Amino acid sequence: MTVADKQTHIQYWSDGADESWKSAEALITGGRFMMALFCWHLTIEKLLKAHWVKDNEENYPPRTHNLTLLHDQSKLNLPEEMQEDLKVINFWNIEGRYPDYQNAVYKTATKEYIDSKKQTVETIRTCLLEKLQ
Question: Cα(41)–Cα(66) distance, rounded to whole angstroms?
Answer: 10
Q: What's the pLDDT tens digit per position in 90-115?
A: 989 876 566 776 677 777 889 999 99
Q: What is the CATH number of the domain that holds 18?
A: 1.20.120.330
pLDDT digits (tens, 9 = 90+) for 52-89: 999 999 999 999 999 999 999 999 999 999 999 999 99
The runs of H, that is alpha helices, within 1-133 are 3-29, 33-55, 67-72, 80-90, 99-108, 111-132
Domain count, the chain: 1
